[in-house]
Amino acid sequence: MFKRRGFTLMEILVNLAIGLILVGLAVYATSHFIENRDLEAVSDTLVSYLRSAEARAIQSEGDTSHGVSTAGSKITLFRGTSYASRTTAYDTTLPYDSYIHFSGISEVVFAKQTGLPSATGTITVTNGIKSTIITIYSTGAISW
């Protein structure tokens, strides 16, 4: 009698197709996980920069105001009355990936000694899938 050994071509192709589908799902899930993690990291850093700018302004560090800008492809913590007239030697920057986008307020300057913001409202940080909304109040409070 004939004994069957090995796998048929159809069995190999079915197993290969199932394996490729599983790999595709894993890659898709991992890429979204990384993008969401990056969104959280950028949002955390933006809030940290805003709070740091406010604290530096209240302490009158450098005898001037301090602010944060989301212009270009980076978040910048700066010293000065505006991003355009800042002292670039004191900049702290965080570049971010091109899939991260900001909308709303693009520059906030906190007044020397009072720490009151020049702009109030929201900054929305998004990666195309998920968003984080950061609110800056007239008192200088920041929530998200």
User: Residue 138 belongs to what domain range?
Assistant: 10-143
Residue 4 located in a structural domain: no
5 part of a folded domain: no
Amino acid 64: pLDDT: 95
Number of domains forming the structure of the chain: 1
Compute φ and ψ for 91, nearest 5 degrees: -65, 140
Classify residue 137: in a domain, yes or no: yes
State yes or no: pLDDT of 2 exceeds 70: no
Instruction: Kindly state whether residue 62 falls inside one of the protein's structural domains.
Output: yes
pLDDT in tens, 6-41: 888 999 999 999 999 999 888 887 877 888 898 999
Q: Report d(CA 71, CA 127) in Å as an integer.
A: 16
CATH code, 81: 3.55.40.10
39-75 pLDDT, tens digit each? 999 999 999 999 999 999 999 999 999 999 998 889 9
pLDDT at 97 over 90: no
**Cα Rg for the chain, rounded, in angstroms?**
25
User: pTM of this prediction?
Assistant: 0.80
Residue 2 falls inside a structural domain:
no
CA atoms lying within 13 Å on the CB side of residue 131: 11
